[in-house]
Amino acid sequence: SYELTQPASVSVSPGQTASITCSGDKLGDKYVCWYQQKPGQPPVLVIYQDSNRPSGIPERFSGSNSGNTATLTISGTQAMDEADYYCQAWDSSTVVFGGGTKLTVL
Amino acid sequence: QVQLQESGPGLVKPSETLSLTCSVSGGSISSYYWSWIRQPPGKGLEWIGYIYNNGGTNYNPSLKSRVTISLDTSKNQFSLNLTSVTAADTAVYYCARRGAGGSTEFDYWGQGTLVTVSS
């Protein structure tokens, strides 16, 4: 079965840039989306189709996908961005989630 | 604004069947894929399966033998049945909508409902 691999945790200082990776075989051939999840809340879509932001998502969130790695980038990270982040893709008509990355802003 | 709301028992006994319903408001259940996704306490997201408006389904291979997702367009609802549950099925269960057309993302989610499997 297809797997997506994320780092368990990433730390960033306020105002700096955070990068969260998602790796999978030939991932660049698939569309990747990213969700933000805060404690006790459902996931919120922050990036879809590799690099598109839904309305209402701040411009500091951006995404890219090439080769075997997709990357979620948060520029000028704010304390409110501290959350778990999940990548997601489709493989053979099934949905696959990455294991999630805890972003700490300190 | 589309809203999804999960409902069903919060406690299920081992070996019994977990049954949940997702009610969709603010939009028609037609022309979209509707999914169930779960999250064990303190762990990541796991896709369970989806149903399309024509009744077609697809399930996570790891759960396929125990899962049924059904659709009731007259009530704008879809449902999840998971049989022979064990403690490993304890999780927050979310219903979610995959966007229209060729989208690959879940754009609307319910708030989630915690289901505990325990005697």
pLDDT per residue over A16-33, tens digit each? 999 999 999 999 999 999
Structure tokens at A28: 């660049």
Task: Find where tokens 């939009």 sit.
Answer: B27
Pairing of strands B33-39, A61-66: unpaired
Cα dist from A101 to A11, A22, A82, A97, B58, whole Å: 10, 9, 10, 11, 27
Are residues B59 and B35 in contact, defined by beta-carbon separation less than 8 angstroms?
Answer: no
Amino acid at B77: Q
Share the mean pLDDT of chain B.
95
Q: What is the pLDDT of residues A28-71, one digit of tens each?
A: 999 999 999 999 999 999 999 999 999 999 999 999 999 999 99
**pLDDT for the residue numbered B113:** 98
Q: Does the pLDDT at position B47 exceed 90?
A: yes
Interface of B with A (CB under 8 A): 35, 37, 44-47, 50, 58, 60-62, 94, 99, 103-107, 109-112
| Phi and psi torsions of A60, nearest 5° | -70, -15
Are residues B69 and B59 in contact, defined by beta-carbon separation less than 8 angstroms?
Answer: yes
Candidates A89, A93, A97; nearest CB to B45: A97
Q: What is the pLDDT of residues B57-98, one digit of tens each?
A: 999 999 999 999 999 999 999 999 999 999 999 999 999 999
Q: Which residues of A touch B37 (CB under 8 A)?
A: 95, 97
Q: Which residues of B touch A1 (CB under 8 A)?
A: 61-62
CA angle B107, A44, A37 (to 5 degrees): 150
Candidates B46, B47, B111; nearest CB to A42: B111
> Which of B45, B46, B48, B62 to mutate against chain A (most A CBs within 10 Å)?
B45
